Structure 1
Amino acid sequence: MTQAVPFTDNFSDLSNTQGYQFDFRCERCGNGYRSAFQRDAVSTGQTLLRSVGSLFGGPLRDLGNAADQIMLNRGTNSPAKDKALAAAVEEIADRFTQCRGCGDWMCRAICWNEEVGQCARCAPRLNDEIAGLQAQARRTQAAERLSSTDLLTGVDVAAAPVAACPSCGARAGGGKFCTDCGASLAPTTACPGCSAELAAGARFCADCGTRVGG
């Protein structure tokens, strides 16, 4: 009577023509463990047989080709592979446990809440949960405090922004004067007609209509 082979859904098959190996991973954090490589003694003999067959030809070559076919079949399923998988599952069994809440396989080292017998996703650890909530509260309180704090003292928010210094062309970093040449970032001129203060580049006075520029 054949025996059922235990397996999980969180593994990858790394087996090759030389033997068997499997990767098992946590379905929450992604960390995992790789089972020890199990060399297949049969494949070693088949490799030797194939090498001898290619050297001498004839019936030995036919045996070598048959060995290739056997190894191809072994790559998909075989009693030897079933045995290797069962051994690998037993090898890493103590590093994983299945959560009864979500059904996923979790690593015991990081993602298992031993106190309640569920994974840290279904039942987060109390200290971890409190730490996360505290961090969220700090962000919320910081945003609220900043929203009521005046960060624009001395800044004329109604003034048109100056992208470059009108004197040297350097990129303006804010403030009233250029940090490269010291020139005013908002130079003005006086109207020749009424002496009203005009912004640089104005062609007519806004107060008396006198033409300023050419």
Structure 2
Amino acid sequence: MSSEIYFSNNYRDLCEQHGTGAGFQFEFHCSRCFDTWRSPFENFTAGRMASWLSRGVTAAWSVIGGRAGGGVSSAADGLAGASWGGARDAAFQRAVDTARGHFNRCGRCSSYVCGRCWNPEHGLCLHCAPDTAAEAEAARRRGVNDMASQQAYAQGQVQGEDYDPKAAR
């Protein structure tokens, strides 16, 4: 396993340390189109158990009229918190390893892009190696639009010959 950190600027941490939704999940996005891919959710059992224990102790103490129990729930939270960092780092590494299959890294600009934003023929992203056929079609459309605009302008000039700018509105 590599110690190199991938996806350092195109992911969002969706992890939850406490509660019934405690677990690890990361969302990665394409640097070009910003479409996202989420890693599979992984339970953080210690965080869930701490939440259940905390609620159980609090409920039990309230039933018997006691005010203690905060120490037990604090201890449970502390135990869950002690394992959180290492477990999160390991989950992030697994998510990065899986995300590599969904993204390509451009050799020119170093961006991570999805398959739709990748030019496999050149091994570069579409920012660095645009699709030639798509660029030609876009240029052709710009030419059509420019000519239509010029023709409409000329037609407006012909229509404007009869306009009297001195006439009252």
TM-score class normalised by the smaller sequence = 0.7 to 0.9
Structure 2 equivalent of residue 131 of structure 1: 137
Give the number of the structure with larger relative contact order, counting CA–CA contacts within 8 Å between residues 6 or more apart: 2
The residue type equivalent to 1:13 in the other structure is D
Stretch deviating more after TM superposition (48-57 or 6-15): 48-57
The residue type equivalent to 1:43 in the other structure is G
Structure 2 equivalent of residue 120 of structure 1: 126
Q: How far does residue 83 in structure 1 lie from its aligned partner after superposition?
A: 1.1
Structure 2 equivalent of residue 177 of structure 1: none
The residue type equivalent to 1:67 in the other structure is A
Kindly report which structure 2 residues correspond to 1:59-208, keeping only aligned pairs within 5 A, or say none.
Answer: 61-71=70-80, 78-108=85-115, 110-149=116-155, 150-152=157-159, 155-162=162-169
Q: Does 1:13 align with 2:13?
A: yes
Q: How far does residue 51 in structure 1 lie from its aligned partner after superposition?
A: 2.2
Task: Find the residue that maps to 2:101 and give its secondary structure.
Answer: helix
Indicate how the Cα distance of structure 1 residues 103 and 152 shifts in structure 2: closer, same or farther if over 3 A, else same.
same
C-alpha deviations, 1:69-118, integer Å up to 9, x for none?
444566xx61100111112122222111111111111111x211111000
Indicate how the Cα distance of structure 1 residues 128 and 42 shifts in structure 2: closer, same or farther if over 3 A, else same.
same
Indicate how the Cα distance of structure 1 residues 20 and 53 shifts in structure 2: closer, same or farther if over 3 A, else same.
same
Structure 2 equivalent of residue 46 of structure 1: 50
Give unpaired runs (5+ residues) of structure 2.
none
Q: How far does residue 19 in structure 1 lie from its aligned partner after superposition?
A: 0.6
Q: How far does residue 49 in structure 1 lie from its aligned partner after superposition?
A: 2.0
The residue type equivalent to 2:93 in the other structure is A
Task: Find the residue that maps to 2:159 and give its secondary structure.
Answer: coil
The residue type equivalent to 1:11 in the other structure is Y
Q: Answer whether contact 1:53 1:63 (CA < 8 A) is retained.
A: yes
Q: Answer whether contact 1:53 1:62 (CA < 8 A) is retained.
A: no
Task: Find the residue that maps to 1:94 and give its secondary structure.
Answer: coil
For 2:2 and 2:51, the matched residues in 1 are separated by: 29
Q: Which has the higher helix share?
A: 2
Tell me the percent identity: 25
For 2:89 and 2:130, the matched residues in 1 are separated by: 36
**Misfit runs of 4+, over 4 Å:** 57-60, 70-74
Pair member with larger Rg = 1
For 1:66 and 1:151, the matched residues in 2 are separated by: 86
The root-mean-square deviation of aligned C-alpha atoms, in Å, is 2.7
Q: How far does residue 48 in structure 1 lie from its aligned partner after superposition?
A: 2.4
